[in-house]
Structure 1
Amino acid sequence: MKITADDVPALERGVALLGSGGGGDTRTGATLLRHRLPATVTPVADLPPDANVLPVGVVGATAVFTEKLPGGDEVPTAIAAMERWTGVHADALISIEVGGLNGLMPLVSAHELGLSVVDADLSGRGLPRLDQLSVATAGRGLAPAVVAEPSGQVLVLATGSDTTIERTARAFLASSSGWAMLVLPPIPAAELPGCAVLDTISGALALGRRVLALGESPDADRLAEAVDGDVLATGRVLEVSRRLGPGEHGRPGFGRGSVTLIDHRDGSLLRIEMENEYLLALRDGRPVASTPDVLTVVDRRTAVPIACDTIRGGVEVAVLRLPAAPFWTDPRHLPVIAPRAYGIDTEPVLP
């Protein structure tokens, strides 16, 4: 499949929806992608079984990414370091996360390197932590990992647990440029079905096309049909509260918050708990939707997704639930991104 300029608006909308309120601003990624087309997307089944697929993506503060743009050397530098360390040459790339900015940036990188991107990713949505990626969840581990930041520093994390890799990478980013390109160990194509979420780029493109086809101010029923999910509420945001979330070992956690609105349809009160992503929806105090399903908030008039860090009171919105990828509803994997994985003491709400 070739991604052309005509596909970029739909792909951008699809990955923004799958970001679940996180994943970073997609506008910058879409702008970069428009100048690096066409991009090739290859289904997993079409790859030779022994093809070596490198996971890549942007990590860190994606808000800084829009101010400090990539110079173009970050991905080639990180891939070269991984190839030297492992002795394995990259045959294709795979995104670490289809939700948000990372649904677009691997296509940019692949075009520059003359490689294709696999129609899959390691999240199936937006996720905040490296140790939640599907490869970590499936037991493959994250080490060795390479982090290359815009000023030219390259960090190779040769060994360590998944939580250690996550913690060390973030400490490096906090003391350097704020964001970097990450490359994880190569995965043989034959092993991708067991440790990746398949068909996610084509799925994001199809999702975006369906939503864009609705035009402005789509009614709730048509919007639910387009996202193959539910509209949990439509209404004006009454209040947004923010606080610091729980941390570990004396370190601060991610920012937490709550969004409250009255559902215009029945007058009920909907509250959304959020961290980097929207995590849990409660109607009149009762949980009605949660991660691993994708919860997203869109502008009621334009259906453009609204990120957790930009949502404000007074905005007319629709709150959507998109079904989780089957990888995450597997009982072996579900605990990794269930509400308790974020410190929210409730069971996941499954359809």
Structure 2
Amino acid sequence: MSALMTVEDVRHLRTGAHFLACTIDPTAIYVYAEMIEKAMENRVLELISIDELATDDLVVAIGMVTQGLLIADMPPVGDEFIGCIRAIEANLGRQVRAIYSLAAANINGIVPLMVGLQSSLPVIDSDPMGRVFPLISQTTLNIGHVPISPIALMGVTGERAVVEAENPQRAETLVRALVTEMGGWAATAMYPCSAGQMREHGVHGSISRMIRIGEILDAETSVGRKFQQLAEFLGATRIARARVSHVEGLSRPSDLGLPALPSSVTLVDERSGQIIRLEIQNEILLALVDGAIAAAVPDIVSLLNSEHGTVVNIDDVRVGDVIDVLKITAAAQWYSEAGLDLAEPKAFGIPIEHPRRQHA
């Protein structure tokens, strides 16, 4: 069912998008949330279910692609995404009927709300990741063989491009090169598809889920109560409550052209003595407990302050901090063979298979 979003929804969405990414730098999420709240003073923002669209309606993914430049350092001026949507429409000769988030976390979890306000297009409560991944080819639409292109881009300097590439990995390479040349980030519209394709291959309830997570974490309740509600709502489990003993930057190389800040964090569970190790590449990719895999991408690993129940930014982790390390299961599509091929640790250059992979 469609619903008109409120300012409170946006604030909770901001927190939920932050939690599901446990991002390096959440500044852009908060900048966009403020912009959206201001724009909602005189505009209506409609959130719809994919089922409310006709099967052949054209829908398109909206998202930021970054390559070295933090969006908060040079924010968009406002017309970039509208230009991308118009370029897709011109390329396909069809009108876009609704937009959806490229990812259900971090900045791309919230950007489509601003675009919905600017364009008067409804925002679909679905996405093709169910979390955030660094590569535009790492989507459930790719798993379902839905074409990624045409891809429209508009960068920092106002330059525009349209990429047509059948292979998603090749599209990734071309888009990254363009984003670098365009100044470090680009607004993009991609994966233009029918509502029927999105219904079949997307992850649904994405925005509603982020809002509900935000409601839980923003509430004036105890950390224990917050965790209990996250467990009930998301099936979240606590890997450990542990104290940070070591933070190591560039602990392993990133040689696959991935947008990454490789690092590792070691923690000690002071009650059990267990050693927890987190391997990070923008997001947390791997959590080990005494050397055994406790969580591995595509699992979602997030960090909460053990005293306040607030999200801990990866970049803010310091020796001596006591942190709750949480695991959330990703969308079911990611645990298929095709999904694991795209998103298990090996896809990020870590020579480990996900424990769920089935061997013939």
Is the aligned partner of 1:190 residue 2:196?
yes
Task: Compute the displacement of 1:101 (Å).
Answer: 0.8
Greater CA drift, 251-260 or 36-45? 251-260
Q: Distance in 2 between matches of 1:2 and 1:349?
A: 41
Task: Compute the displacement of 1:61 (Å).
Answer: 4.3
Task: Give CA deviations for 1:85-112 in whole Å, capped at 9, x if unaligned.
Answer: 1111111001100111111110110111
Deviating beyond 6 angstroms after TM superposition, the runs of 4 or more aligned structure 1 residues are none
Verify the 8 A CA contact 2:134 2:259 in the aligned structure 1: no
Is the aligned partner of 1:245 residue 2:253?
yes
Structure 1 unaligned spans of 5+: none
Indicate the residue corresponding to 1:274 in structure 2. 280
Secondary structure class of the residue paired with 1:108? helix
Task: Give CA deviations for 1:110-150 in whole Å, capped at 9, x if unaligned.
Answer: 11100111010111001000111222222123221111113
Is the aligned partner of 1:85 residue 2:81?
no
The structure 2 residue matched to 1:283, chosen from 260, 276, 289, is: 289
Q: Distance in 1 between matches of 2:68 and 2:205?
A: 25
Verify the 8 A CA contact 1:3 1:41 in the aligned structure 2: yes
Is the aligned partner of 1:131 residue 2:137?
yes
Report 1:179-218 matches (<5 A): 179-213=185-219, 215=221, 217-218=223-224
Q: 1:220 to 1:239 in 2, by over 3 A?
A: farther
Is the aligned partner of 1:5 residue 2:21?
no
Indicate the residue corresponding to 1:27 in structure 2. 30
Verify the 8 A CA contact 2:304 2:312 in the aligned structure 1: yes
Q: Distance in 2 between matches of 1:13 and 1:40?
A: 20
Q: Distance in 1 between matches of 2:70 and 2:189?
A: 19
Greater CA drift, 95-104 or 137-146? 137-146
AA matched with 1:228: G
Q: 1:221 to 1:24 in 2, by over 3 A?
A: closer
Indicate the residue corresponding to 2:120 in structure 1. 114
AA matched with 2:33: A
Q: Distance in 2 between matches of 1:136 and 1:21?
A: 24
Q: 1:41 to 1:264 in 2, by over 3 A?
A: farther
Verify the 8 A CA contact 1:293 1:321 in the aligned structure 2: yes
Q: Distance in 2 between matches of 1:252 and 1:126?
A: 14
Indicate the residue corresponding to 1:304 in structure 2. 310
The structure 2 residue matched to 1:234, chosen from 233, 241, 258, is: 241
Task: Compute the displacement of 1:72 (Å).
Answer: 0.6
Verify the 8 A CA contact 2:236 2:329 in the aligned structure 1: yes
Task: Compute the displacement of 1:82 (Å).
Answer: 1.1
Verify the 8 A CA contact 1:18 1:99 in the aligned structure 2: yes
Verify the 8 A CA contact 1:20 1:126 in the aligned structure 2: no
Q: Distance in 1 between matches of 2:271 and 2:119?
A: 50
AA matched with 2:310: V
Secondary structure class of the residue paired with 1:336? helix
Task: Compute the displacement of 1:273 (Å).
Answer: 0.8
Secondary structure class of the residue paired with 2:265? strand
Q: Distance in 2 between matches of 1:185 and 1:128?
A: 16
Q: Distance in 1 between matches of 2:133 and 2:191?
A: 19
AA matched with 1:242: G
Q: Distance in 1 between matches of 2:221 and 2:186?
A: 36
AA matched with 2:5: I
Is the aligned partner of 1:18 residue 2:20?
yes
Q: Distance in 2 between matches of 1:214 and 1:269?
A: 32
Task: Give CA deviations for 1:7-66 in whole Å, capped at 9, x if unaligned.
Answer: 122211111122253685421221122122242110111112122111111110486211
Verify the 8 A CA contact 2:284 2:302 in the aligned structure 1: yes
Is the aligned partner of 1:261 residue 2:267?
yes
Verify the 8 A CA contact 1:245 1:253 in the aligned structure 2: no
Task: Compute the displacement of 1:292 (Å).
Answer: 1.4
Task: Compute the displacement of 1:323 (Å).
Answer: 1.6
Q: Distance in 1 between matches of 2:48 and 2:232?
A: 28
Is the aligned partner of 1:105 residue 2:111?
yes
Q: Distance in 1 between matches of 2:155 and 2:226?
A: 43
Indicate the residue corresponding to 1:72 in structure 2. 78
Indicate the residue corresponding to 1:45 in structure 2. 51
Task: Give CA deviations for 1:211-240 in whole Å, capped at 9, x if unaligned.
Answer: 333635446853544642111111221111
Q: 1:86 to 1:309 in 2, by over 3 A?
A: farther
* CA-based RMSD: 2.3
